[in-house]
Amino acid sequence: MSAVPALWSKLEAPRRPGRSASPRSWRPAAPAGLALLWLTGGAALSQQGGPAVYVASQEAGTVARVDPGASAAGPALFVGPGPAGLAAGPDGTLYLTHPDHGTVTAVEARTGRVLRRLRVRGQPFGIAVSPDGTELFVGDWQAGTVSRLAAESGLVEAIVGIGREPAALVLDRAGRLFVAERGSDAVGVLDARTLTRRASVPVGWAPFALALSPAQDRLYVANVRSNDLTVIDTSSLKPLATVPSGRSPYGVAASPDGRLLLVSNQESGSVSVLDAGDLTLRERIGVGRYPEGIAVAGAHAYVANWFSADVSVIDLATLRETARLPVAEGPRAIVAIPAEMPP
């Protein structure tokens, strides 16, 4: 079984789900002014009600909360080395994958308590949570499989082979699981209940990030190597269009009203804002170095900037970056929890 290389270049960074780390690198120094709490439970990540954003820092092994309007990120909670994928359950539980260590960590966002660590096979990377929170869907980057696990015990309920290097996983309300098959240049569509393949949709070169429109009639696919965005009709499961975005698009999100698409471009250090109707470029916004994950909460978008170790805040009304908040080293995955979910 091959391992993820410990060292790799910026050019090859998009190909790797995780970074191998020595024990000494698990707890690097935090940026100035950033509180870092090395613990396995105790300090609350949640400080107030309303929507919130959580960002996982892969190199630091932490997760932290960003509240809308806050001037700084909250305390960083150590969750274990190398968190790469991040998803939220309906009760606000955060699930983080650790591809270099074969684990999934469950964290109670309200208290900051690590609830459990689940051992999983292979290199778990992409992750999604069932609507009732009882099941996890986890992609194995190395083996090219997706497993359905019991969220409490980690028991494997089903497993299916898919395309190479499964990256992002997204569930829709119809019970379909969409999988970005990075090494196969396709999006796989699975029945979440039976975990059987329903379709394979060809897209651009090296699809990595996925996002559904608010109406879930469109699936947006960020293709890292071809520097573009593919739009899929979720009824016909056919690609409708592919448009340029920026260099190495690594994250994608839709605005709450469905009118805007936001794509984070790693090599460009920018976020492209597209009109969801005609797919024309509305704005290109400079952010931090090597932006990866992007999430929308309320009237703002939040971008995890891996190399500059911060989170950019973008005002969706003005399409301007309004803040850049320091976080622990290597922020990569980011997820928003809406106000109606438990804090």
Distance CA 259, CA 273 (A): 10
Contact 97, 125 (CB under 8 A): yes
Q: What is the pLDDT of residues 225-251, one digit of tens each?
A: 999 999 999 999 999 999 999 999 999
Nearest residue to 333 (alpha-carbon basis) of 293, 290, 288: 293
**46-248+303-310+324-337, superfamily in CATH?**
YVTN repeat-like/Quinoprotein amine dehydrogenase (2.130.10.10)
The amino acid that residue 29 corresponds to is A
What the block records as the tokens of 302 is 């939040």
Q: Where are the beta strands (DSSP E) in 172-237?
A: 176-181, 186-191, 196-202, 207-212, 218-223, 228-233
Nearest residue to 325 (alpha-carbon basis) of 30, 51, 34: 34
- The ranges assigned to domains in the chain are 46-248+303-310+324-337
Q: What is the pLDDT of residues 263-313, one digit of tens each?
A: 999 999 999 999 999 999 999 999 999 999 999 999 999 999 999 999 999
Distance CA 251, CA 265 (A): 7
Which residues lie across from 5 on neighbouring strands?
A: none
Global pTM reads 0.88
Q: Which residue has the tokens 């105790």?
A: 42
What the block records as the tokens of 242 is 């592919």
CA 325 from centroid of its chain's CA atoms: 18
pLDDT tens for each residue of the chain, 343 residues long: 333 322 222 333 434 454 433 222 323 333 333 333 333 334 445 545 568 999 999 999 999 999 988 889 999 999 999 999 999 999 999 999 999 999 999 999 988 899 999 999 999 999 999 999 999 999 999 999 999 999 999 999 999 999 999 999 999 999 999 999 999 999 999 999 999 999 999 999 999 999 999 999 999 999 999 999 999 999 999 999 999 999 999 999 999 999 999 999 999 999 999 999 999 999 999 999 999 999 999 999 999 999 999 999 999 999 999 999 999 999 999 999 986 555 4
